[in-house]
Amino acid sequence: MGYLTREDILGRTEDCFKTETVDVPEWGGQVIVRELTAYEVEKLGEQGKGGNVGIAGLRAQVVAWAALGEDGKRLFNWNNKEVQQLGQLSNAAINRVALAVLRISGLEEQPDGTVGPSEQSGDDGSKN
């Protein structure tokens, strides 16, 4: 394996993310989700202490960031209107999808209600 160039790294924008298909019977089908980007995890961390953030109220945002169509393109804009609309949907459905996103991103909900690195991942979110 050789050294990467700037172009090698920055050229890998969408094809390097883990994805998962989540069954959402409340919505009548399935949704594809991808792991969060470093930027998205940082945005979550900005709202919490010590890099952790309370998950309450943010599940819809996580779903908006990570939900993909069959073509691999984002389903939702990052605007407040769509996030608010998602927030009006079934809590069970939003929770199931958001927790799948967190899991494939190397994150999990902590006992105190915050989100942080999962026990199976290192501080960088990679699996041990």
Domain boundaries, the chain: 14-112
Residue 47, pLDDT above cutoff 80: no
Mean predicted confidence (pLDDT) in 6-26: 87
Q: Does the pLDDT value for residue 54 go beyond 80?
A: no
Q: What is the pLDDT of residues 77-105, one digit of tens each?
A: 877 888 889 989 999 999 999 999 999 99
Distance in angstroms (rounded) separating the CA atoms of residues 84 and 80 = 6
> What gap in Å lies between CA 69 and CA 34, rounded to an integer?
11
Q: Computed from CA positions of residues 6, 122, 120, 100, in that sequence, does the dihedral angle turn out positive or negative?
A: negative
**Under CATH, to which class is 14-112 assigned?**
alpha beta
Mean pLDDT of 102-125: 74
- The whole-number pLDDT of residue 90 equals 94
Query: What's the pLDDT at 113?
Result: 67
